[in-house]
Amino acid sequence: MIQAVIFDWAGTTIDYGSQAPIIAFQQAFHHFDIDIPTADIRQDLGLDKLTHVKKMMAQPEIQSKWEAKYPTIPIEEAVIQIYRQFQSDIVTVLAETAKLKPGVKA
């Protein structure tokens, strides 16, 4: 008799297309007036989120946007600030995107 079934939930049973982290990353960067295309975020979606922020901030285009807007805040500090903002944003986004994929309940 089966007593339990365990699934990886993000993109498997809910949040079709793994939209939550993409939306939260976009919101976190937008909080600092930097827009990130979805394709750039998707490239490293499986990484832990702090490493993901570091990789995005290592991109020359994103770095130059940050430096133009915040010349006195080093990139290392930017990573921390953006990551903290992501952690805050993901909670709200998950509440909005945590919907069962079609057919999962059945």
**8, 15, 69, 99: which is the annotated catalytic residue?**
8
Q: Coil, strand or helix: which one is 14?
A: strand
15 dihedral zone (left: phi>0; alpha: psi -120 to 50; beta): left
Indicate the length of the chain as a whole number. 106
Does the active-site annotation cover 44?
A: no
**15, 35, 44, 49: which is the annotated catalytic residue?**
49
Q: Under a CB-based contact definition with an 8 Å cutoff, are residues 53 and 24 in contact? A: no
**φ/ψ of residue 14, rounded to 5:** -135, 175
Q: What residue ranges in 1-106 does DSSP mark as E strands?
A: none
Does the active-site annotation cover 49?
A: yes
Q: Which residues are catalytic?
A: 8, 49
